[in-house]
Amino acid sequence: MGILVSTLLLALAAQDAKLSGPQPGEKASAFKVFDVASRKETDYVAEGKGAPAVLVFIHELTRPAAALMRALDDYGQVKELRGLRTRFISLSEDRDGAERHLPVVIKSLNLKCPMGISLDGKEGPGAYGLNRDVMLTVLVVRDDKVSANYALISPNETDAPRIKAAIDEALKGYAAPLPAGPDELRAEVVRLREELAAAREELAALKLKNAPKRGEMERPREDEQLVNLCRRLIQQQATQEQLDAAVKDIDTYIGANDVFKRQYAAILTRILDLKYGNELGQAEMKRQLEKLGK
């Protein structure tokens, strides 16, 4: 009798433990999606060429599930520098409706990693055996094989640490392939330079907002809108036309406000001292200081 009860309990436990998608060690087959951002059909597995990836299949989107997706999206962006590819896949019977609705969802959740709509409808890729009774199926993949599988019935942010640990394990020892030829190398250099310029701009904006003047322990609080307008003067790619438009907007905002004029002069002086912006921007800021009589 005791053996029978134990057997029944084990069977019930097995039924309760949801399985969804290929299990660790099994192949992650190629499948097609409609990528929402590019509005093109693509294959998130094939395009990765064996690189570590996180595939998040969305069976049902709830607020707690969205919180986990944001956490994985943030981690995916950080680990992208190590070669990780994070992809979200929506499972829907109504592709047209999903195409209209998902851009709103992406914007609302502020997701940066790509999202696609499975071309296989609500069931998802046939070879994956996804379970419709779970809300999210999260697969960690490397070399086109699943290294970790999470079939989440009630996903939330508390699931993030164990998934992140599986991601870190998949990234161990992985080195992204080097560009194959001169054209790819040139494209990679251009991409890295753009990312570096963007990072420098962001750092400059933060220093502009928070750094005290030279010779001062702290500076008076400056008008936030004025600071934001002045950030346009330090963009590395700014043209003279863009700088002229920025100056015009700043002049309109300042008007006859003497306090804003003094703050503007202080901001320009600080920017020039720190040598932010390109040559056109620095020349324009010097002209503005001369106009202010500083």
Distance in angstroms (rounded) separating the CA atoms of residues 45 and 50: 8
What are the beta bridge partners of residue 54? 86, 140
CB atoms near residue 216 (< 10 Å): 9
**Burial profile 234-245: b = 16 or more Cβ within 10 angstroms, e = fewer:** bbbebeeeebee
Q: What is the pLDDT of residue 212?
A: 58
Q: What is the pLDDT of residue 172?
A: 92
Distance in angstroms (rounded) separating the CA atoms of residues 38 and 36: 6
| CA distances for 206 relative to 228, 261, 290, angstroms | 11, 21, 26
Closest Cα partner for 117 from 105, 129, 131, 107? 105
CATH superfamily of 17-171: Glutaredoxin (3.40.30.10)
pLDDT tens sequence for the chain (294 residues): 444 444 444 343 333 458 999 999 999 999 999 999 999 999 999 999 999 999 999 999 999 999 999 999 999 999 998 899 999 999 999 999 999 999 999 999 999 999 999 999 999 999 999 999 999 999 999 999 999 999 999 999 999 999 999 999 999 988 777 777 888 888 878 877 887 887 787 777 777 666 655 555 455 678 889 999 999 999 888 899 999 999 999 999 999 899 999 999 999 998 888 888 899 999 999 999 998 886
Q: What is the pLDDT of residue 8?
A: 41
Q: What is the pLDDT of residue 294?
A: 61
SS3 230: helix
Task: Assess contact for 113 and 73: CB atoms under 8 A.
Answer: yes
Q: Where are the domains of the chain?
A: 17-171, 182-291
Phi-psi category of residue 99: left, alpha or beta, with phi > 0 → left and psi -120 to 50 → alpha: alpha
For the whole model, what pTM was predicted?
0.61
